[in-house]
Amino acid sequence: MSKKDLFIASLLGGAIGDALGYTVEFMKLDEIKSRFGEDGITDFELNRYTGKAMISDDTQMTLFTADGLIWAKDRISERGIGSYVGSGVYQSYLRWLYTQTRSMPDEHYDWLLDPQPHEESNRILNYKELFSARAPGHTCLSALESNKMGTIERPINDSKGCGGVMRVAPVGLFLHNDPEQAFIVAAEIAAITHGHPSGYLAAGTLAVIIAELLNGKNIAESAERAIAILRSHPQHEETLKAMEAAIELAESELNHEEAISRLGEGWVAEEALAIALYCALKETDFRKAVIMSVNHDGDSDSTGSICGNILGACHGLNAIPEDWVNHVELKELIVDTAGRLYDRNETV
Ligand SMILES: [Mg+2]
């Protein structure tokens, strides 16, 4: 399995989990079962006009994270100075804000809408699917509209919604050679919009899991390494507790519906990460694990998205059902973006 394959599989896997979960994002488990049957939702609901399974804000923002990293990498290479967050990802999120609101927080950002050198071959703003509102997170919108860039040192708010963690898988892929840096960069990227420690530390933790999967570890080993790095950061207790609960429940005989409900609903970052990790540990089959990760009372598209990111990075493209790959919205852009992210990584 090539590393490029894993980049693509992690982003496609996330999009697939997102698309499966988006249909039931705001439904309780009993509502899901009464509509789809005792097994819950098990397959895509295809849009009747496009024939595709629609992705939500989780995949939209993940694509803007990846594009921002590519942008930053090229600018840093050219100038010899800069940071991933300040030289590309923050700017990319302002573009995301524009797709959702048709405005920028300040007119001096208008140049961001122009074609940039890193997008000669493909341009993210050309995809109309990214302009459609797919239940975007209020915290992400309001933080970016404030015209201030949140940082760990100067928190933008006290939110630990899962909008920070659900978009950082590309960081783990891109910086897999250095998992400790992946943690920090992913946490900083989440802190742009989410100021509560669990909001950004869960993001750092996910990035390490993804990075270590790329480095050939299995999911349990990757989670252990992520926990070790998480422990070295202040205010990690809540995220650590969620991670440990996920691992312990995955090793137990408890049925998965009960186990997931003990982990929470996933509206907050550490719970979304814990539910996704639990499902990825519990079930090695991609289809079964992703189905498990979206059938619960809570934030199904985010837990599905994170679970798909982990499974893709672990098992690769061959493990992902072909019918899902072929029907997920924006497949071509996702594959292309993952490939360009991989190409930049090669020069790290
Ligand atoms: Mg969503």
CA 25 to ligand 1 center in whole angstroms: 7
CA–centroid distance, 294 to ligand 1, in Å, is 12
**pLDDT value at residue 157:** 98
Residue 268 Cα to ligand 1 middle (Å): 13
**36-77: per-residue pLDDT in tens?**
999 999 999 999 999 999 999 999 999 999 999 999 999 999
Predicted confidence at residue 121, as pLDDT, reads: 86
pLDDT, tens digit, for every residue of 268-289? 999 999 999 999 999 999 999 9
Q: How many A from CA of 133 to the centre of ligand 1? A: 10
How far is 80 from 344, CA to CA, in rounded Å?
A: 15
Q: How many A from CA of 162 to the centre of ligand 1?
A: 10
HSE-CB at 200 with a 13 A cutoff on CA atoms is 29
Question: Residue 1: is its pLDDT beyond 90?
Answer: no
Per-residue confidence band for 326, with pLDDT thresholds at 50, 70 and 90 = very high
Mean pLDDT of 313-335: 98
Residue with tokens 């970052």: 269
Report CA(76)–ligand 1 centroid distance (Å). Answer: 31
Task: Identify the three-state secondary structure at position 293.
Answer: helix
pLDDT at 345 over 60: yes
Measured in Å, how far apart are the chain's first and last C-alpha atoms? 21
Domain ranges of the chain: 3-346
CA of 32 to the centre of ligand 1 (A): 17
Where does the pLDDT of residue 224 fall: very low under 50, low under 70, confident under 90, or very high at 90 and above?
Answer: very high
Asked if 20 contacts 315 with a C-beta cutoff of 8 angstroms, the reply is no
| 6 CA → ligand 1 middle, Å | 23
Alpha helices in the chain (DSSP H): 3-22, 29-36, 57-79, 90-101, 138-145, 169-174, 179-191, 197-214, 219-231, 237-251, 256-263, 269-282, 286-294, 300-315, 322-327, 331-346
- Taking the centre of ligand 1 as the mean of its atom positions, its distance from the CA of residue 96, in whole angstroms, is 14
* pLDDT at 347 (0 to 100): 55
Tell me the average pLDDT across 200-228. Answer: 98
pLDDT score at 117: 93
pLDDT in tens, 102-160: 999 999 999 999 999 999 888 999 999 999 999 999 999 999 999 999 999 999 999 99
pLDDT tens digits for range 93-110: 999 999 999 999 999 999
- CATH number, domain 3-346: 1.10.4080.10
Within 10 A of 31 (CB to CB), how many other CB atoms are there?
12
Which distant-in-sequence residues (6+ apart) come within 8 Å of 296 by Cβ?
29, 257, 260, 261, 265, 266, 275, 303
pLDDT of 83 higher than 60:
yes
What are the residues whose beta carbon lies below 5 Å from ligand 1 (ion)? 56-58, 301
Q: What is the pLDDT of residue 348?
A: 47
